[in-house]
Amino acid sequence: MQRINISIKRMYWICKNGNSYIRYIIENLFVRSFDNLRKNLKPQQWKFLYQEIPRDFRNVYYEQTEKDKGPLSNILHLIKTENISSICILKKLIKRKSFC
């Protein structure tokens, strides 16, 4: 846990001192990885770690998780759970009318 906390602090420093491209990369790769980290930690550990995450990163993480709940989440869910081609995915979405 200590290493994770230190890594988050370092990435935050890099993000704050980097240019817009660096911030974009960190927000879309590093912060996006929090979801996977959350799945691999016990609830108590995640709660503790989440409190240690800088507020800016928490805001970005919150925005990402909210966006993931939108219409595109149906597509992502199908891609993750079913090993099928994109044409089959589109056909299923059209049948369900869940693409809008």
Q: Do 42 and 57 form a contact (C-beta atoms < 8 A)?
A: no
Cβ atoms within 10 Å, residue 49:
17
Q: Over the stretch 76-88, which tens digit does the pLDDT of each residue have?
A: 666 666 655 666 6
Residues 26, 18: Cα–Cα separation, whole Å:
10
Report which residue type is found at 76: L
Q: Over the stretch 38-96, which tens digit does the pLDDT of each residue have?
A: 888 999 999 999 999 999 999 999 988 887 776 666 666 666 666 556 666 666 666 66
Indicate yes or no: pTM above 0.85.
no
